[in-house]
């Protein structure tokens, strides 16, 4: 137990002293997670709304596909992205391998089905009587749309937070596509795995504490918004 306690003390020293390697991994993680989330939300929310709001042929099949994609292993997504952006892949000339952009692409693919599926389920839960009431009151399509989105705003926020948590803690994509390059593409999760394997337990704890703190702040923000 002594080395665990010592590891926590050392971890706090690293965080307070502003250790470059530690905080570099933190900023890289925040940057690519934010970019990938903005992309996935921008694409996932409209798709989720369309799937949830309208009835069309093969809708059940599409929902099954989305639900299947929720369980995609991150290493599989990393492998697929790597195959496309590597030097021998069709997008190899773009030079995306071992870059933050490459990681963001993989994480966007990971988060997109989560945002889309949860948004679709949330939209489907809207009471049909609400739509009928709005129509009977003479509300236009834009007002109906705005009111429906406002009614399910917490569900949409939950979709975003769930996807962000998945992106924030993934390892496979960052490791395979980013290459875990120090001060460049090393994220919190890949740094934790590396430092722990090297026996640098304190470094791993320090990054783990930051990761937990970020997750706590995100969920706390969601709780705050729900009270508004």
Statement: residue 221 has pLDDT above 70 = yes
Q: Which of 1-5, 80-84, 97-101, 203-207 has the lowest mean pLDDT?
A: 1-5
Task: Say if residue 63's pLDDT is above 70.
Answer: yes
Band of pLDDT at residue 186, cut at 50, 70 and 90: very high
CA angle 24, 100, 166 (to 5 degrees): 85
CA–CA dist 102, 107 (Å, integer):
9
Indicate whether 37 pLDDT > 70. yes
How confident is the model at residue 133, as a pLDDT?
72
Q: How many residues does the chain have?
A: 228
Count the domains in the chain.
1
Q: Give the residue among 187, 175, 145, 177 at the shortest CA–CA distance from 49.
A: 145
Domain span at residue 180 reads 2-226
Give me the pLDDT at residue 226, please: 64
What gap in Å lies between CA 35 and CA 101, rounded to an integer? 9
Q: What percentage of the chain reaches a pLDDT higher than 90? A: 39
Predicted pLDDT of residue 212 = 86
Q: Please answer whether residues 176 and 185 qualify as being in contact, where contact means their C-beta atoms are separated by less than 8 angstroms.
A: no
Give residues with Cβ within 8 angstroms of 173, minimum separation 6.
74, 75, 77, 78, 81, 103, 106, 107, 110
Please list, in sequence order, all residues whose beta carbon lies within 8 angstroms of the beta carbon of residue 75, skipping any fewer than 6 positions away: 172, 173, 176
What does the pLDDT read at residue 170?
92
pLDDT band at 228 (very low <50, low <70, confident <90, very high): low
CATH code of residue 208: 1.10.3720.10
What average pLDDT does the structure give for the chain? 86
Over range 39-50, report the average pLDDT: 92
Alpha helices (H) in 86-187, listed in sequence order: 100-124, 128-136, 141-151, 153-169, 172-178
């Amino acid at each position: 137990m002594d080395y665990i306690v010592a590891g926590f003390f050392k971890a706090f020293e690293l965080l307070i002293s502003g250790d470059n390697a530690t905080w570099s991994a933190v900023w890289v993680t925040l940057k690519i997670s934010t970019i990938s989330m903005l992309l996935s939300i921008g694409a996932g929310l409209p798709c989720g709304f369309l799937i949830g709001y309208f009835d069309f042929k093969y809708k059940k099949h599409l929902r099954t596909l989305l639900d299947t994609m929720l369980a995609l292993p991150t290493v599989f997504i990393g492998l697929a992205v790597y195959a496309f952006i590597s030097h021998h892949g069709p997008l190899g000339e773009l030079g995306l391998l071992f870059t933050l952009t490459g990681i963001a692409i993989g994480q966007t693919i990971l988060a997109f089905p989560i945002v889309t599926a949860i948004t679709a389920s949330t939209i489907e839960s809207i009471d049909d009587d609400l739509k009928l009431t709005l129509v009977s009151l003479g509300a236009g399509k834009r007002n109906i749309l705005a009111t429906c989105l406002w009614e399910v705003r917490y569900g949409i926020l939950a979709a975003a937070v769930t996807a962000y948590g998945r992106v924030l803690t993934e390892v496979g994509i960052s490791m395979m596509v980013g290459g875990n390059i120090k001060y460049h593409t090393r994220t919190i999760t890949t740094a934790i795995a590396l430092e722990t394997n090297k026996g640098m337990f304190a470094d791993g704890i320090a990054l783990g504490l930051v990761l937990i703190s970020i997750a706590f702040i995100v969920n706390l923000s969601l709780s705050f918004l729900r009270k508004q």
